[in-house]
């Protein structure tokens, strides 16, 4: 699943870069999300593979904190990008005549850069508080990565400030982005219902339904994991939901967003044809001779 996740998301990035038909704001944001998903799943999966392959179940405290930082920073960036993508769909469906002027390349780049900078800056304050924790006694993390709950349980210092920071993070980033995203999709729904042609409505519904599927998985898993301020989610439940969040969602992302889209499939077929002709130039010559 990890290899398919990396290959699938890397394929989307490659296609958007080489095919001019996919060089639109929507696919620009999707390619950025694909890039993010590769690093998001890698932040937890690579260390897990090392443990499973070597049998060495140890991680340094610095590496543990770094893993936690990138996991939350990349996750935060994902939620901001989902808001940006919902805004893009809102402009495309509700204000199509102004779409090209509003969603110009400069604005698209600003939005993506802002998403990364805001997220990594906000989570940096959390990393500072994490480094202030002291650990004593048992050093066994009952998880497959350095998540909040197992780290807090190992700490013998007061972690109430960090818990409050995480609650603030949940309210500001997760719930805030969810409200904005739902607001945009509510407006989109009203616009779709007022479209005159049934074909236009079905196409718009098809585009938005795939986005809503990813929203349900991303927000649902995050809220289930971190909504409880006391960390009351059972550990085994925490592990299962975390697997959905770190493995299943990045795995499904290429298929939900792009690889079932006709435009993307056409671009993929063209790219494969060019690669085949480049790797096997003799086959092109033979087929030409046969046609003569």
C-beta of residue 194 within 8 angstroms of C-beta of residue 96: no
pTM for the full predicted model: 0.85
Tracing tokens 């592990």 back to the chain, one arrives at 239
3-state secondary structure of 202: helix
Per-residue pLDDT at 39 exceeds 90: yes
Q: Are 12 and 36 in contact (CB under 8 A)?
A: no
Q: At what angle do helices 235-243 and 198-226 cross, to 10 degrees?
A: 150
At 236-275, the pLDDT tens digits run 777 888 888 888 888 888 887 776 677 788 888 888 887 7
Distance CA 258, CA 250 (A): 13
> Phi/psi at 164 (nearest 5 deg)?
-65, -40
pLDDT exceeds cutoff 50 at 84: yes
Is residue 281 a part of any domain in this protein? no
Phi, psi of 258 (to 5 degrees): -130, -50
56 domain-assigned: yes
What pLDDT, on the 0 to 100 scale, is given for residue 283? Answer: 54
Q: How many domains does the chain have?
A: 1
**Residue 88 pLDDT more than 80?**
yes
Q: Is residue 273 in a domain? A: no
Query: Do residues 37 and 214 lie in contact, with contact meaning Cβ atoms separated by under 8 Å?
Result: no
Q: CATH number for the domain including 65?
A: 1.20.1070.10
Residue 80, domain member (yes or no): yes
| Within-domain flag for 285 | no
Give the tens place of pLDDT for each residue, 135-190. 887 788 888 888 877 888 888 887 788 888 777 877 788 889 999 999 998 898 88
The answer as to whether 213 is a domain residue is yes
Residue 164 lies in a domain: yes
Asked whether 248 and 254 are in contact (CB, 8 A), the reply is no
Range of the domain at 12: 2-268
In which band, very low, low, confident or very high, does the pLDDT at 290 lie, cut at 50, 70 and 90? very low
**Gap between the Cα atoms of 68 and 130, Å rounded:** 9
- Cα–Cα distance measured from residue 118 to residue 4, given in angstroms and rounded to the nearest whole number: 30
Tell whether 289 is covered by a domain.
Answer: no
**The pLDDT of residue 249:** 81
């Amino acid at each position: 699943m990890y290899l398919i996740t990396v290959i699938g998301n890397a394929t989307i990035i490659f296609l958007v870069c080489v095919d001019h038909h996919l060089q639109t704001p929507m696919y620009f944001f999707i390619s950025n999300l694909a890039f993010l998903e590769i690093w998001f799943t890698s932040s937890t999966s690579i260390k897990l593979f090392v443990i499973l392959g070597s049998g060495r179940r140890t991680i340094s405290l610095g590496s543990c904190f770094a893993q936690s930082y990138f996991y939350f920073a990349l996750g935060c960036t994902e939620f901001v990008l989902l808001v940006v993508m919902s805004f893009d769909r809102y402009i495309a469906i509700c204000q199509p005549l102004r779409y090209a002027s509003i969603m110009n390349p400069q604005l698209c780049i600003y939005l993506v850069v802002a998403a990364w900078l805001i997220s990594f800056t906000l989570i940096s304050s959390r990393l500072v508080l994490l480094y202030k924790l002291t650990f004593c006694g048992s050093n066994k993390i009952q998880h497959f990565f350095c998540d909040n709950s197992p780290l807090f349980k190992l700490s013998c210092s007061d972690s109430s400030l960090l818990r409050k920071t995480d609650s603030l993070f949940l309210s500001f980033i997760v719930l805030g982005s969810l409200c904005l995203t739902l607001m945009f999709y509510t407006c989109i729904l009203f616009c779709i219902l007022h479209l005159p042609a049934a074909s236009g409505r079905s196409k718009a519904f098809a585009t938005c339904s795939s986005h809503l599927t990813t929203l349900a998985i991303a927000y649902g898993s995050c809220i289930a994991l971190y909504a409880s301020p006391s960390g009351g989610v059972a550990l085994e439940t925490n592990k299962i939901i975390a697997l959905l969040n770190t493995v299943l969602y990045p795995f499904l992302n290429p298929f939900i967003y792009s690889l079932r889209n006709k435009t993307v499939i056409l671009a993929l077929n063209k790219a494969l044809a060019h690669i085949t002709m480049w790797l096997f130039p003799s086959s092109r010559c033979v087929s030409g001779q046969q046609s003569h």
